[in-house]
Amino acid sequence: MNILVLGSGGREHTFAYKIAESPRCENLFVAPGNAGTALIAENVAISVNDFRAIKQCVLENKIEMVVVGPEGPLVNGIYNYFADSSSLKDVMLIGPSKKGALLEGSKERAKEFMMAHGIPTAAYESFTAENLDEGKSFLETLQSPYVLKADGLAAGKGVLIINDLNEAKTELENMLSHSKFGEASSTVVIEEFLDGIELSVFVLTDGQNYKILPTAKDYKRIGEGDTGLNTGGMGAISPAPFADESLMRKIEDQIVIPTINGLKEEQIDYKGFVFIGLIKVDNEPFVIEYNVRMGDPESEVVLPRIKNDLVDLFEATATQKLDGISLEIDQRAAATVMLVSGGYPEAYDNGKEIIGIEHIGDSIVFHAGTAVKDGVTVTNGGRVIAVTSLDTDFKQALKKSYRNIEELYFDKMYYRTDIGFDL
Ligand code: AMP
Ligand code: GLY
């Protein structure tokens, strides 16, 4: 069958890489893609939010399956756009409906969903400019550090964790009254700080059945030792070594099952990924966020460990037959290290030639922000390349990635040398 992947990052290159391995995939398209996807698929110069152009591309190329990478088009309702179109309604689209995507699109909605379905999460209240003063009083009832979350999508920047009470009050006012994150912070969720170690759990659901995919831990801060600004992610490992059987049982019973049942009870069409961000506090899991897509760079360590044909898995998702699939997981650990442009997550330059990719042997190079310019592969984003390796444990896998990274070079290339340092 012909398949389209929407997106242009490392996550989408990983999807394309796995789908291209499937004997069931005839023609693979990626929109808009990057220099890596161009090697294994046809890149189509269409923005992920241009639904009319996507429709035209799907019809022209007789595409039967669309895999949505990022959250934007999901929150904007691409599932409903397909479902409501007579010519697209039979195309299998992997991703939730607009109502389902609100679990990521609105932090307040996610909290209400968790409360309604008894899913463990931090205590919270939400506020708008109208009740700013109540918000400040609420902060006084909490202990430092203070967690402020812009309700809407804010490109991963909408969460502030602040030690000082007065600074927290000022930031609350900046968010609510001075649009610090634009429309996204017109509502702010203030929640209790949870002290523990983070992990991510990925679930694929067809709306009735679900499969729990391998866990992962990502490293979001730009600096060594988890310091400095937040990024999209500087590296990841899978599985999270501390996610033992007893913790996973709690996560399934207290979080995954109530989440899937909650979607069913609320009659939400959901055929796609649920990415659950968790903090483990004294061996008890709490949800800090839902995402309605796979993670990036978590995809680069989770998907290579799935041995099933991804096209079979997605078809079962779209046709509500996931119960007939048994997951086969590679027991090796995976690690990925992200090479980024100097300056990221603040200003950086594009267009730097990337040297050495052809020398990488026993790691997989997933392109994130790359493009081809005059026949040369160049940087085209903050996060440029993810180097993934599989081995007996995450330390060995990391060693492989770091050894292979020595073959790669671009001007002002930066990466963290301490992924996994805390484990
Ligand atoms: P989010 O965008 O919701 O994933 O939040 C970004 C980061 O803020 C998370 O990865 C956590 O490190 C941190 N965080 C979010 N909520 C909390 C919380 N309630 N307690 C402690 N840390 C949190
Ligand atoms: N790496 C975090 C995310 O994809 O949201």
Same domain, yes or no: 246 and 173: no
β-bridge partners, 278: 199, 287
pLDDT, position 267: 97
Q: Is residue 29 part of a domain?
A: yes
Tokens of 3: 């398949």
Relative to the CA of 289, which ligand 1 atom is closest?
3
Q: Is residue 290 part of a domain?
A: yes
Tokens of 174: 């900046």
Q: Quick one: which of 340, 74, 63, 390 has its CA closest to 229? A: 340
Residue to mutate, 103, 197, 279, ligand 1, most ligand atoms under 8 Å from C-beta:
279
Distance CA 160, CA 95 (A): 28
Q: What are the backbone angles phi and psi of residue 407, rounded to the nearest 5°?
A: -80, -15
Same domain, yes or no: 285 and 348: yes
Same domain, yes or no: 252 and 134: no
- Do 92 and 65 touch, CB atoms closer than 8 A? yes
pLDDT digits (tens, 9 = 90+) for 228-260: 988 999 999 999 999 999 999 999 999 999 999
Residue to mutate, 292, 298, 302, 338, ligand 2, most ligand atoms under 8 Å from C-beta:
298
With DSSP H G I counted as helix, E B as strand and the rest as coil, what are the percentages for the chain, rounded to 5? Answer: 35, 30, 40
Secondary structure of 160-229 in HEC code, one letter for each residue: EEECCHHHHHHHHHHHHHCCCCHHHHCEEEEECCCCCEEEEEEEEECCCCEEECCCEEECCEEECCCEEE
Residue-range definition of the domain harbouring residue 39: 2-98
Q: Within 10 Å of residue 195's Cβ, how many Cβ atoms?
A: 8
Picking from 65, 98, 131, the residue at the C-terminal end of a domain is 98
Ligand 2, atom 4: nearest CA belongs to which residue?
Answer: 295
pLDDT, position 63: 98
Number of domains in the chain: 3
pLDDT digits (tens, 9 = 90+) for 27-57: 999 999 999 999 999 999 999 999 999 999 9
Same domain, yes or no: 187 and 201: no
pLDDT digits (tens, 9 = 90+) for 60-106: 999 999 999 999 999 999 999 999 999 999 999 999 999 999 999 99
Q: What are the backbone angles phi and psi of residue 408, rounded to the nearest 5°?
A: -105, 145
- Supply the DSSP symbol for 255: I
Q: Is residue 416 part of a domain?
A: no
226 pocket-lining for ligand 1 (C-beta < 6 Å): no
Reduced to 3 states (helix: H, G, I; strand: E, B; else coil), residue 403 is helix
* Residue 342's CATH number: 3.30.470.20
Nearest bound ligand to the CA of residue 289:
1
Same domain, yes or no: 302 and 348: yes
Residue to mutate, 185, 288, 292, 422, ligand 1, most ligand atoms under 8 Å from C-beta:
288
DSSP secondary structure letters along 330-377: --SEEEEEEEEETTTTS-----PBPB-GGG--SSEEEESSEEEETTEE
Its pTM stands at 0.95
pLDDT digits (tens, 9 = 90+) for 265-315: 999 999 999 999 999 999 999 999 999 999 999 999 999 999 999 999 999
CA distances from 353 to 118, 260, 356 (A): 51, 45, 10
Same domain, yes or no: 166 and 311: no
pLDDT, position 182: 86
Q: How confident is the model at residue 157 (pLDDT cuts 50, 70, 90)?
A: confident
- Do 168 and 148 touch, CB atoms closer than 8 A? yes
Measured N-to-C along each axis, helices 165-177 and 132-141 cross at an angle, to the nearest 10 degrees, of 150
Same domain, yes or no: 167 and 244: no
pLDDT, position 23: 98
pLDDT, position 328: 98
Same domain, yes or no: 150 and 36: no
Percentage of the chain beyond pLDDT 70 is 100
* Residue 149's CATH number: 3.30.1490.20
Reduced to 3 states (helix: H, G, I; strand: E, B; else coil), residue 313 is helix
Nearest bound ligand to the CA of residue 110:
1
**pLDDT over threshold 90, residue 156:** no
Same domain, yes or no: 214 and 324: yes
Q: Is residue 246 part of a domain?
A: yes
* Residue 38's CATH number: 3.40.50.20
Same domain, yes or no: 208 and 264: yes
Same domain, yes or no: 83 and 134: no
Q: What is the CA(4)–ligand 2 centre distance, in A?
A: 22
Query: 35: which residues sit within 8 A by CB, 6+ positions away?
Result: 367, 370, 371, 372, 377, 378, 380
Reduced to 3 states (helix: H, G, I; strand: E, B; else coil), residue 64 is strand
- Supply the DSSP symbol for 143: P
120 pocket-lining for ligand 1 (C-beta < 6 Å): no
Q: What is the CA(161)–ligand 1 centre distance, in A?
A: 8
Q: Is residue 225 part of a domain?
A: yes
Same domain, yes or no: 307 and 351: yes
